[in-house]
Amino acid sequence: MNPISAGSPITKLSEEETLFRETVRRFAEDEVAPLVRRMDEEQRMDAALLSRLFELGLMGIEITEEYGGSAGTFFDSVLAVEMLSAVDPAVALVVDVQNTLVASALLRWGTPEQKRKYLPRLAADTVGAYALSEAGSGSDAFALETRAEKRGGEYLLTGRKLWISNAKEAGLFVVFATVDASAGYKGITAFLVEKGAAGFTVGRKEDKLGIRASSTCELILDECAVPAAQMLGEAGSGYKIAMETLNGGRIGIGAQMLGLAEGAWGHAVKHAKERRQFGKPLAEFQAMQFQLAEMATEIEAAKLLAYNAARLKDTGREFRKEAAMCKYFASQMAERVASLAVEVLGGAGFVKESPVEKLYRDAKIGKIYEGTSFMQLAAIAKAIL
């Protein structure tokens, strides 16, 4: 069930986009939904489901046909994340990181050799992860301490990364380290590190409040040897790579929160129409109608922000402010809508059997990762003042 109208020029989809959106929606409802509760309880992604994401082309949406991808648009990635998130935001996160961060960085900054080596794998069977955060560098992402020391034809990376999404399943990591600590952010450099590299270990897996099927782990680099040819971009360009990539990634998180809210709203409406109190359905009480109407209005606003930011990015126009607005508003909205959905369902919404209970837990991370709400407000203020 979708509270959003199709008449807005921004939300209006082409025939191809509509078909793609419906294909992902059916997949989510038919194949993801039956696995959601078990994956959440076991805190792991179903391996067969992960394979299906590759089979459907959802792990290489913007990767060109030359490299085995779907040759889609960034907007297509947003649609996929939105539709998957209505059923399970954890599954959507795997698709989001793969497309809006890892593949996007390679498409934009990779050398021809790196693209030939890694893009076909990302499209076919290899999960990617994006390793920026550390214990002492969260919102201040560039206070990172991981070092990259040049030695002959390779770099030795030493440090620890924390809270890395997709880490358990990933075979390729975009790792940020500094080649010159005295240069500040100008020394930060990106490297392509493969799982299994000497000196590279995926460490402890976090036990999280929400999106539990999506793995979040620490990475330990102990003089991890990375060939110089595995540098992504130029030495010292890591800051630019991270910022440009994260700007797009924030739209992806906005889409995740949008889809989550749409899913929660749909469950709330269904319950309000079916649940009877005082001789009539809850949906016939004006107080309930107003609450559902307010939720739908906020979802519509978030959708306009997310779709507009994605369209701007696809057309090569400036979108940083819109991306920050999208993530900020959508994450605030999703938490409110999911909370209200729990209240609409009452006791039935507070138990594990209810999908809104999980969506409420999943919503909290939206205000935190890929830039906290405070960081988004700072970016917006900088753009408008």
Q: What is the mean pLDDT of residues 165-171?
A: 97
On whether the CB atoms of residues 84 and 35 are closer than 8 A, the answer is no
On whether the CB atoms of residues 104 and 190 are closer than 8 A, the answer is no
Q: Indicate which residues carry an active-site annotation.
A: 370
Q: What is the mean pLDDT of residues 214-224?
A: 98
- Both tokens assigned to 72: 């889609």
Which pairs count as long-range contacts for 23-29, CB under 8 Å and 24+ apart, including other chains?
23/56, 24/56, 24/58, 24/79, 24/80, 24/83, 24/84, 25/83, 25/86, 27/52, 27/56, 28/83, 28/84, 28/86, 28/87, 28/88, 28/91, 29/87
The per-residue pLDDT for range 289-327, each reduced to its tens digit, is: 999 999 999 999 999 999 999 999 999 999 999 999 999
The pLDDT value given to residue 178 = 96
Mean pLDDT rounded to a whole number for the chain: 96
Whether the per-residue pLDDT at 212 is higher than 50: the answer is yes
Report the b/e string of 17-33 with b at 16+ CB within 10 A.
eeebbebbbebbeebbe
Whether the per-residue pLDDT at 138 is higher than 80: the answer is no
Whether the per-residue pLDDT at 267 is higher than 90: the answer is yes
The pLDDT value given to residue 377 = 97
The pLDDT value given to residue 12 = 87
The per-residue pLDDT for range 190-209, each reduced to its tens digit, is: 999 999 999 999 999 999 99
Whether the per-residue pLDDT at 176 is higher than 90: the answer is yes
Phi, psi of 207 (to 5 degrees): -100, 105
Higher pLDDT among residues 69 and 2, named by residue: 69
Paired sense of beta strands 231-232 and 188-194, if any: antiparallel
The pLDDT value given to residue 8 = 63
Residue 236's nearest CA partner among 150, 316, 164 is 150
Q: Is 317 exposed, middle or buried (0-12, 13-18, 19+ CB in 10 A)?
A: exposed
Q: What is the mean pLDDT of residues 86-110?
A: 98
Whether the per-residue pLDDT at 1 is higher than 70: the answer is no
Helices (H), the chain: 15-27, 36-42, 47-55, 74-85, 89-96, 104-109, 112-124, 238-274, 286-314, 320-345, 355-363, 373-384
What domains can you pick out in the chain, each with its CATH number?
A: 15-127 (1.10.540.10), 129-236 (2.40.110.10), 240-384 (1.20.140.10)
The pLDDT value given to residue 4 = 47
Whether the per-residue pLDDT at 217 is higher than 80: the answer is yes
| Cα diameter, the chain | 80
**CA distance readout (Å), 282 to 272, 273, 292, 349:** 5, 6, 11, 15
59: helix, strand or coil: coil
Q: How confident is the model at residue 142 (pLDDT cuts 50, 70, 90)?
A: confident
Whether the per-residue pLDDT at 29 is higher than 80: the answer is yes
Helices and strands in the chain, H and E counts: 12, 10
Q: What is the mean pLDDT of residues 370-379?
A: 96
The per-residue pLDDT for range 45-57, each reduced to its tens digit, is: 999 999 999 999 9
Q: What is the mean pLDDT of residues 284-288?
A: 97
Q: Would you give the distance in Å from CA 308 to the centre of its chain?
A: 17
Angle at 183 between CA 180 and CA 186, to 5 degrees: 95
Q: How confident is the model at residue 355 (pLDDT cuts 50, 70, 90)?
A: very high
On whether the CB atoms of residues 262 and 299 are closer than 8 A, the answer is yes
Whether the per-residue pLDDT at 367 is higher than 50: the answer is yes
The pLDDT value given to residue 10 = 73
